Structure 1
């Protein structure tokens, strides 16, 4: 945990340095919309761990690269995660995403650990069907499809794709003014493993609360990642902050605190966000 605390301290030192206006507050967004005849868009704080496919109210031509690195301390092994993600908006309000998430494991006890793998090929889309500058509210629906892949050491044996995950979702976000933001991301996940006849289902509910420093894209906040199944409930609280290092480069730092520590203990996650010029 000392490394996680150190990351937070370093990032906090940069916040005053990067606290410059970038025409991203609500008034600037509205003025830009009126002057350039762009579709309405409301400023919302996007969570860093379970992030959105694209900004709510996305505009044509927007695009973004993400690189994520993380560490989770489990009871019998450490899990190192990495992801590469590209998202873009081909038309107004519609976003697409392609993601490659990796998991590497290091055994910490005499018991075995899962095998290293590229978890899946993840493809997703999201459409913002409601954007209201008057109410400072946005809503969207979307769908994520994951092709689950086998472990690296099984690439020469059997099937490469071992199952599918189907995940429709709904997003609603509200900008309350004075830097206060809230967002709800929720939907079912259906797990279809080819070696099992039954499809499993669990419900994902992610509630988010952030404070964004005025005239910047810097924020601090909390993600509450909750999963419900027939006989289980898990929640991980994720304190986080985002720091704007340059006009097109942001860095997000996340820590994870599980409600129950029977399997997973503390975790840390770093997200690098690069926004190429349109």
Structure 2
């Protein structure tokens, strides 16, 4: 009895590494298969123009997928809160983006800000519909071989006055002119990098003044095998006229709820807490007809 038991134990010990290696190999193979199938679903459409799958940042998002194909469309709903030392800013936005032709994305967005003082006697800015945003983005180069896409675009904001000033001052308060450039690359099947950069020119009608801010947004994401889910970080950097550089780190994750509904969660961590502290942001992404 004990002789057979020893034999079985010895056989189990010797076979365990083999079973472990086989299971690990099988799992890796399944992941690679799922990745290949998901990427192929987006990219390998012989009758359509080439497109490379890239992870899209959640806070400062793209106008449309890089290499967008005609007919693609998407609704976004965003909600957030930012601690601005003496007051809190509550953010809400609704956004619609679509591709009327291959590789051209268009967007309309309405962002709202509501301000609440956090200390007695503190005066907070007036709540308002921040602006009407109109934007266009064109992907001028797509390389399936290098898994890289390049795009240029332009975003224009018609800035609006505070709700409390609608009857006493001009409704249309200024403009923000924002040309931008995007470069994105996928490394293998899972790792994604993206650069979003360009100047913002602020025109204020009330003070008759101009201000320029340069944006340098670098993004790093890991897309989980065989899914649309990812983990990543945005590094949002701004350089103003005075030469001051501000940066906010935004760790984030995206989760697919259904085939055409995704939820993104973002946390904002400023490097300098002079004007802004921690923030959170939630983005709901709905793709009709997906």
Structure with greater proportional strand content: 1
Equivalent pairs counted in the alignment come to 257
Higher helix fraction (1 or 2): 2
**Larger RCO, structures 1/2 (Cα 8 Å, 6+ apart):** 1
Out of 44, 67, 76, the residue aligned to residue 77 of structure 2 is 67
Structure possessing the higher radius of gyration over alpha carbons: 2
Give the TM-score of the pair, scaled to structure 1.
0.89
For the 8 Å contact 2:211–2:241, the answer to whether it is kept is no
- 2:40 corresponds to which of 27, 51, 57: 27
Aligned in 2, Cα 1:161/1:28: closer, same or farther, shift over 3 Å?
A: same
Provide closer, same or farther for how the CA distance between residues 30 and 158 of structure 1 changes in structure 2, counting only shifts above 3 A. Answer: closer
User: Which of 117, 131, 138 is the matching residue for 1:120?
Assistant: 131
Tell me how far apart the structure 1 counterparts of residues 98 and 189 of structure 2 sit (CA, whole Å): 29
Alignment match, 1:247:
259
**CA apart distance, 1:22:** 9.3
Which whole-Å CA distance do the structure 2 matches of 1:24 and 1:147 have between them?
43
Distance 2:268 2:287 in 1: 26
Consecutive unaligned residues in structure 2, runs of 5 or more? 1-30
Equivalent in the alignment of 2:167: 156
- 2:194 & 2:215 partners in 1: Cα distance? 14
The one-character-per-residue Cα deviations of 1:99-150 (angstroms, maximum 9, x if unpaired) are: 0000001101122101000000000000000011111000100000000000
Q: Distance in 2 between matches of 1:228 and 1:64?
A: 31
CA contact (8 A) 1:96 1:126 kept: yes
Whole-Å Cα distance in 1 between the matches of residues 218 and 205 of structure 2?
Answer: 32
TM-aligned CA distance change 1:127 to 1:49, over 3 Å: same
Q: Which residue of 1 aligns with 2:98?
A: 88
- CA shift, 1:215, in A, is 1.4
2:97, 2:36 → 1: CA distance? 22
Q: SS of the residue aligned with 1:131?
A: strand
Q: Secondary structure at the match of 2:277?
A: strand
1:134 matched to 2:174? The reply is no
TM-score by length of 2: 0.86
Once the two structures are superposed, residues 159-215 of structure 1 have per-residue CA deviations (whole angstroms, 9 ceiling, x without a partner) of: 110000000000000000140000000000000001233321010110000000121
Tell me, yes or no, if the aligned pair for 2:201 and 2:212 is still in contact at 8 Å: yes
In 2, the alpha carbon distance for the partners of 1:29 and 1:247 equals 13
CA contact (8 A) 2:195 2:216 kept: yes
Distance in structure 1 (CA, Å) of the matches to 2:164 and 2:40: 54
RMSD of equivalent CA atoms: 1.6
1:238/1:257 contact within 8 Å kept: yes
Rounded to whole Å, the distance in 2 between the matches of 1:197 and 1:78 is: 28
Instruction: Give 5+ residue unaligned stretches, structure 1.
Output: 1-18
Task: Please give the per-residue CA displacement for 1:55-79, whole angstroms capped at 9, x wherever unaligned.
Answer: 0000000000000000001110011
Consecutive aligned runs of 4 or more in structure 1 exceeding 6 Å deviation:
none
